[in-house]
Amino acid sequence: MCKIISSAYFIGFYSSVFFITIMSVDRYLAIVRSVYALKVRIAAYGVIASIVLWAVAILASAPDLIFFQETNDNNWTKCSPHYPDSNNGWKTFSNFEVNVLGWLIPVGVLIFCYHNILKNLQKCHTQNKYKAMKLVFIVVIVFFLFWTPINIVLFLDSLRKMHIIDDCQTSQRLDLATELAEALSFIHCCLNPVIYAFVGEKFKKHLREAFRKYTLFLLICKDYGAFNGRSLDKHSSMYTTSSQSSFVGTVL
């Protein structure tokens, strides 16, 4: 169970960053390279790209699948990595892997894509121009705010493993900062639907339309139920009167 949870943790981490990056590339192609996008933005390429990204995320998480183990420490069950070498080489490699694959490369791609998107949008003269630019700024700023702390902490942890940072108090603060930064990075995963869906105009339009149809459906059902209720009451009243007349006729 420890290996499964730790692997799911890192696969989710890498896949989240990779898909944010590929979505930025998709936006870049749609806005900046619109003619070329007609050839490559098809379902088949989308499926292939998704499979490749999931495969890379799983491969990048392989060290954690191998080295994470469940241990007992003072009656506390812990799930932590146990590396074979004593000089923490694998741990340092794992941290730098996160820094490179999970931050440096995606940030470079995001800056390139959104820089060109903004340049292209500045040439447009449409009403949706500023809404699109606002979405671009939100995506980039939120990504930096939520993913930069964990990468800084992991880089400092690598320096600690390399014995460049030896201060005990700093090491304790670094452990606390790691937990807080990890929680912050996963909050970003929860914000992704809000950023890419609820901020988008198309999604809000479809959501309003669906809500309007659902409300109309409930009103129709309510009116139909009320109509049936009145019909049943009328039928029941007629049945009661008829029964009473029959009973009186029988007695007489």
Question: For the structural domain made of 2-199, what CATH number should be given?
Answer: 1.20.1070.10
Is the pLDDT at 167 greater than 80? The verdict is: no
Q: How many CA atoms lie within 13 A of 33 on its CB side?
A: 14
pLDDT category at 237 given cuts 50, 70, 90 is very low
C-alpha–C-alpha distance, residues 15 and 58, integer Å: 8
Quote the tokens at residue 63: 């060290």
Find, among 28, 182, 191, the residue nearest to 102 by Cα.
Answer: 182
Q: In whole angstroms, how far apart are CA 155 and each of 15, 89, 101, 188?
A: 20, 14, 13, 20
pLDDT, tens only, 40-86 = 888 899 999 999 999 999 998 887 778 777 877 777 777 777 777 65
pLDDT of residue 203: 67
- Give dist(CA 248, CA 168) in Å, integer: 100
Nearest Cα neighbor of 160 from 181, 174, 178, 180 is 174
Q: Where are the domains of the chain?
A: 2-199, 209-252
Residue % of the chain over a pLDDT of 90: 8
Report angle CA 101, 35, 199 to the nearest 5 degrees: 60
Model's pTM, two decimal places? Answer: 0.69
pLDDT tens per residue, range 201-226: 666 777 778 778 877 766 776 655 55
